[in-house]
Every structure is written in C-alpha cells, then in structure tokens.
C-alpha cells in the first residue's frame, strides 16, 4: 500500500539534476511512497531572491505553500528549497502582516499546520531495516565521502530544528559502503556564485575534490542537487572523482534497473566505478 505525499521538486531537480529527481521517485516508489508533484509550482527564490529582495523571496515561497493540499505533508529534496519554504512558513506563523499579505495574494488563509519535510526526515521515520533487508553488503565496500553542503546547516532562526548530519554515512555503511572522514562535508560549494563568479567558485570546488581524493574516496555522495552541479562543472582538476546523488545510491542498493538515463547526465562518468562494484551492468 502506498502513501500519498505532496512533492516540491524545485528548479534543479526539474532541470540540471533530473537524474536526482528520477532516482528519488524510484526509491520512494520502492518504499511505498507516492510523490504527487505540486501543480504549477514556481522557483522557491533560491539564494538570489532572498539576497536582494526579501518580499519577493517570501512571495515566491509562499505561493508554493498555497499550492500544497491540506492534510498532506509537503516533501522537498533540495536543501535550498527546504530552507526557503520553511522560512516562509515560519514567517507566516509569527507575523500577522505576512498572513494578511498571503491571503491577499493567494486568496486563502495560510495553512499554519502544513508539515514540510526534507527527504532525510522521511528516511529517518521509515523502517529502513525492512526496506534494505535484501540489500546488506550490496554496496560492496564502496569508499565514499558524504557531502551535505551548507544549506542543511540552518540559519539561527531555525536552529532548534533537528539536523541530519551523519544520516548518509549510517545508511550507506549499513549497506556495505565505507564512509571516510574528511574536513569538507559541510563546506559551501559556492552556490549561485557559480554562475556569477566562477573564478571564485572553482578554487573552492577544487579544494573539496582534493580533500576527497586525499582520504582515498572513490566517489562523493551529495545531499544537494546544486552542490552536485557545482562540484562537476566548476572542478578544473585533471584528476576528478565521480559525484553521486544520495538518491541514486539508495535506488541502486534496492535493485533499481531503470538507471540508464541517470548516469549519462553526469559530467564525471560514474559508470566504470559502479560497474566495478557490480552495481550496474
């Protein structure tokens, strides 16, 4: 039996990181979750809008909240989208003027009880021992470093919320992978500066990739689609390392077979590594 959950994919998962979206949907189907995409959603505002126009940033995020059906959780997989949606929702809870603006713009009262969940939170409450009962050691000592990026380290106004650092290591090690310790798991990848100032972002990304190589990682597993993109497009080192979405690894561990369209989208081809581990054919 499947459970219906509203789903906000966001711009990255709908465009540059389609493989993240496809593998996420695959894994959720496997564990009995039916993700129902919000109709006519818009950009959450990302880093750009809230940096230069706080009212516009609120409006962009709040419109998406207005599209969410009452009584169903709203799931986001992108840390930046999650941050924007949750901050807008928190603003609605705490500010009567914000609620008034919301009603004026979207023609309905705000759902102050809307539950906005990140993919990690969903995993945290899922009976993973049941999900992975046939997948023990499937990842065959794949040596990886986890890369969470900085968006999951929430701003002070949201610092009482649970964080999920360590979740990727715990889950993947239970499947036979080997997490390696390194100093860059929450280092910023440069985010939107990748478009405006690649000269700043490339040295940042190169240091992250060097850090992974220095500890002997075979790949980097990311929690964020934007981070994944930056690590691939802004690294100009001769020796690069495959970057994998967490959802891709989870789907492979549960026996996904419709992966052919995922890895061809990667700029650093992970297929030789995955074939050597017997994860794909």
Structure tokens at 145: 């470093």
Q: Is residue 67 part of a domain?
A: yes
pLDDT of residue 194: 92
Q: 143 and 255 share a domain?
A: yes
Q: Residue 245: which H helix or E strand, with range?
A: strand 243-245
Q: 146 and 66 share a domain?
A: no
Q: 101 and 157 share a domain?
A: no
CATH number for position 247: 3.40.50.11810
The residue from 120, 151, 176 where one domain ends is 120
Edge-to-edge strand list for the sheet holding 3-8: 33-37, 3-8, 74-76, 116-118
pLDDT of residue 159: 66
pLDDT of residue 134: 76
Range of the domain at 47: 3-120
pTM, to two decimals: 0.93
Mean pLDDT value across the chain: 92
Is 151 within 8 Å of 80 (Cβ atoms)? yes
Q: Is residue 166 part of a domain?
A: yes
Percent residues over pLDDT 70 in the chain: 94
The residue from 120, 149, 174 where one domain ends is 120
Q: Is residue 125 part of a domain?
A: no
Q: Is 222 helix (H, G, I), strand (E, B) or coil?
A: strand
Token pair 């798991």 in the structure block, residue: 185
Q: Is residue 105 part of a domain?
A: yes
Does residue 1 have a pLDDT over 60? no
Q: Which residue has the higher pLDDT, 125 or 138?
A: 138
The residue from 93, 120, 147 where one domain ends is 120
Q: In terms of residues, how long is the chain?
A: 281
Q: 115 and 147 share a domain?
A: no
Rounded CA separation 140/218 (Å): 12
Structure tokens at 93: 């809870």
Using alpha carbons, select from 266, 265, 263 the residue that is nearest to residue 275: 263
Rounded CA separation 208/206 (Å): 5
Q: pLDDT tens digit string along 40-82?
A: 999 998 767 667 778 999 999 999 999 999 999 999 999 999 9
* Half-sphere exposure in the Cβ direction for 11 (13 Å, CA): 13
CATH number for position 35: 1.20.1050.140
Question: Distances in Å between the alpha carbon of 120 and those of 76, 154, 239?
Answer: 10, 14, 31
The count of structural domains within the chain is 2
Q: pLDDT tens digit string along 215-274?
A: 999 999 999 999 999 999 999 999 999 999 999 999 999 889 889 899 999 999 999 999
Q: Is residue 126 part of a domain?
A: no
Q: Is residue 60 part of a domain?
A: yes
Q: Is residue 89 part of a domain?
A: yes
């Amino acid at each position: 039996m499947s459970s219906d959950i509203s789903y906000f994919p966001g711009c990255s998962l709908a465009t540059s990181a389609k493989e993240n979206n496809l593998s996420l949907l695959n894994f959720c189907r496997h564990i009995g979750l039916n993700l129902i995409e919000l109709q006519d959603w818009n950009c959450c505002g990302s880093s750009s809008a809230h940096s230069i126009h706080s009212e516009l940033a609120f409006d962009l995020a709040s419109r998406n909240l207005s599209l969410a059906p009452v009584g169903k959780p709203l799931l986001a997989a992108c840390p930046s989208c999650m941050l924007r949606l949750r901050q807008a929702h928190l603003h609605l809870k705490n500010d009567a003027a914000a609620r008034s603006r919301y009603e004026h713009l979207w023609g309905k009262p705000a759902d102050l009880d809307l539950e906005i969940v990140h993919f990690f939170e969903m995993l945290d409450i899922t009976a993973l021992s049941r999900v992975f009962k046939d997948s023990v050691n499937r990842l065959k000592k794949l040596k990886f470093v986890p890369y969470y990026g900085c968006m999951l380290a929430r701003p002070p106004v949201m610092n009482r919320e649970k964080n999920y650092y360590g979740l990727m290591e715990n889950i993947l090690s239970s499947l036979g992978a080997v997490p390696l310790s390194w100093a860059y798991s929450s280092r910023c990848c440069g985010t939107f500066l990748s478009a405006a100032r690649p000269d700043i972002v490339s040295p940042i990304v190169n240091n992250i990739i060097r850090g992974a190589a220095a500890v002997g990682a075979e790949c980097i597993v990311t929690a964020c689609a934007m981070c994944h993109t930056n690590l691939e497009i802004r690294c100009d080192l001769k020796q690069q390392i495959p970057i994998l979405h967490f959802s891709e690894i989870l789907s492979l561990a549960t026996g996904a077979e419709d992966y052919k369209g995922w890895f061809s989208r990667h700029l650093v081809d992970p297929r030789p590594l995955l074939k050597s581990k017997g994860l794909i054919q």
